[in-house]
Amino acid sequence: MKEIIYLDTKLVNSLLAQIDQGLILKQIAEENNSQGTHEETSNQESYSAGGKLGAGLFSGNVANTEITADKTALVYSSGNRELVETAIDDFSLDLLLDKIEPDIKTIENVTEGEIVKEINDLTIYDFSMLKNTMDMGALEIFIPDAVEAYRKAEKELKKISQANKEKHASKIAEIKAMLENSFIFNVSRINRMSQYVESLLSDCSILKIGSSLCICEQQNTRIPKSSLALLNASKRKATILGIAAAEIETDMEFSNFDGSPSRIISHGPGMFINMVTNSFDITKEGDRFVRPIAIYFE
């Protein structure tokens, strides 16, 4: 049985449709029943009388009017509504695996555009949560002394740097080294970097399984963001099924972009994602971007 972490159902059904006829994801039948009866009865009666006496003459008149009306209306309509929605997403994944099994490649011998499958340790990088976690204001609640000491050192560095840099050169170097090696400095650095990466990835997380690096949309992730990072503590091996994309460049050459604005515009976002994953040691030589179809424990 599979414990699915991520599943792109649109991509699964697209691949199945290209193999045969795809799958019906939803069935709906409707029928309605209603009946109404309207009855109305009205009765109207009027009576009038009159007379005149004079000079031996008598005259009079009598009138009586009665109106009765009955109205009956019957309205009948029929229909039944029945909604049946069959959840077959998980079944469609098993069906796809059965159909493409002979064509699945390993990460070592796959080329771009081919289906790849890898089973390995799972590591999750959620930069939006990391940004909120590595917040100086929040950390001040838990480690107030360390935050206060860091801020005092920053103020002292600013003061002596503005006074006389040459005179206080050794002290400046000492304070800079102390700040850069502190836990608070690393927290601040990670917070700023996380804000930048979050802007690049939008509502996505990075999942790494072995040599496969995946950018996963939250809408296709079965696990809430608040619980996703907890899977980093799991000892189980995860399986990634996806479409192989480009190999990750670990040695970025900025000279390749000199004099080519269009190349910077088209390749810039990917280049900076490479830089981020390299700087945090998320990727290594031989790793590859993979467009994920499914990620799961089995």
Using the predicted structure, report yes or no on whether residue 290 has a pLDDT greater than 80: yes
Instruction: Say if 261 falls within a structural domain.
Output: no
pTM metric for this prediction: 0.69
- Residues 204 and 214: their CA atoms lie apart, in Å, by 10
Instruction: Say if 226 falls within a structural domain.
Output: yes
- Tell me how many domains the chain contains: 2
Angle at 111 between CA 21 and CA 197, to 5 degrees: 95
**Residue 212, number of CB atoms within 10 A of its CB:** 25
- Residues 116 and 290: their CA atoms lie apart, in Å, by 8
Instruction: Single out the residue in 177, 201, 225 at which a domain terminates.
Output: 201
| CA atoms within 13 A of residue 187's CA, in its CB half-sphere | 16
* Claim to verify: residue 98 and residue 241 sit in the same structural domain: yes
- Residues 127 and 199: their CA atoms lie apart, in Å, by 10
Mean pLDDT in residue range 126-147: 84
Using the predicted structure, report yes or no on whether residue 162 has a pLDDT greater than 60: yes
Give the pLDDT band (50/70/90) at residue 120. Answer: very high
* 272 neighbors 193 (Cβ within 8 angstroms): no
* CA 240 from centroid of its chain's CA atoms: 19
* Claim to verify: residue 223 and residue 110 sit in the same structural domain: yes
Mean pLDDT in residue range 219-229: 87
| Strand runs labelled E in the chain | 3-7, 27-54, 57-84, 115-120, 122-125, 204-209, 212-217, 238-247, 288-297
- pLDDT for the residue 17: 86
pLDDT, tens digit, 9 for 90 and up, residues 225-239: 888 888 998 999 999
* Claim to verify: residue 24 and residue 100 sit in the same structural domain: yes
pLDDT, tens digit, 9 for 90 and up, residues 34-61: 555 555 555 555 555 554 545 444 455 5
Q: Which two tokens stand for residue 203?
A: 């509502």
Distances (CA, A) of 205 to 125, 198, 208: 6, 9, 10
Residue 126 DSSP class: -
* Claim to verify: residue 241 and residue 167 sit in the same structural domain: no
* Claim to verify: residue 103 and residue 15 sit in the same structural domain: yes
* Claim to verify: residue 217 and residue 196 sit in the same structural domain: no
Domain that holds residue 151: 128-201
- pLDDT for the residue 39: 56
Q: Which two tokens stand for residue 64?
A: 């009586």
* Claim to verify: residue 145 and residue 231 sit in the same structural domain: no
The residue assigned the tokens 């972490």 is 5
Instruction: Say if 15 falls within a structural domain.
Output: yes
More confident residue, 196 or 294: 294
- pLDDT for the residue 30: 57
- pLDDT for the residue 106: 93
Instruction: Say if 298 falls within a structural domain.
Output: yes
Beta strand 57-84 with 115-120: parallel, antiparallel or unpaired?
unpaired
Using the predicted structure, report yes or no on whether residue 146 has a pLDDT greater than 90: no
Of 11-20, 34-43, 57-66, highest mean pLDDT:
11-20
Distances (CA, A) of 47 to 51, 66, 219: 14, 9, 79
- Residues 128 and 228: their CA atoms lie apart, in Å, by 12
Angle at 293 between CA 288 and CA 298, to 5 degrees: 95
Give the pLDDT band (50/70/90) at residue 127. Answer: confident
Distances (CA, A) of 114 to 198, 222, 223, 243, 263: 29, 25, 27, 6, 26
* 217 neighbors 118 (Cβ within 8 angstroms): no
Task: Give percent above pLDDT 70 in the chain.
Answer: 71
- pLDDT for the residue 111: 92
To the nearest 10 degrees (0 to 180), the angle between helices 144-163 and 169-180 is 150
Mean pLDDT of the chain: 78
- pLDDT for the residue 87: 53
Give the pLDDT band (50/70/90) at residue 66. Answer: low
* Claim to verify: residue 148 and residue 193 sit in the same structural domain: yes
pLDDT, tens digit, 9 for 90 and up, residues 226-276: 888 889 989 999 999 999 998 887 666 655 656 666 766 766 667 777 777
* Claim to verify: residue 192 and residue 223 sit in the same structural domain: no
Beta strand 27-54 with 57-84: parallel, antiparallel or unpaired?
antiparallel
More confident residue, 282 or 211: 211
* Claim to verify: residue 113 and residue 241 sit in the same structural domain: yes
For the chain, helix (H) and strand (E) counts, in that order, are: 9, 9
- pLDDT for the residue 83: 47
* 53 neighbors 75 (Cβ within 8 angstroms): no
Mean pLDDT in residue range 132-138: 82
More confident residue, 208 or 65: 208
Using the predicted structure, report yes or no on whether residue 158 has a pLDDT greater than 90: no
Bridge partners (DSSP) of residue 4 are 296
Mean pLDDT in residue range 5-10: 92
Instruction: Say if 61 falls within a structural domain.
Output: no
* Claim to verify: residue 7 and residue 135 sit in the same structural domain: no
- pLDDT for the residue 68: 57
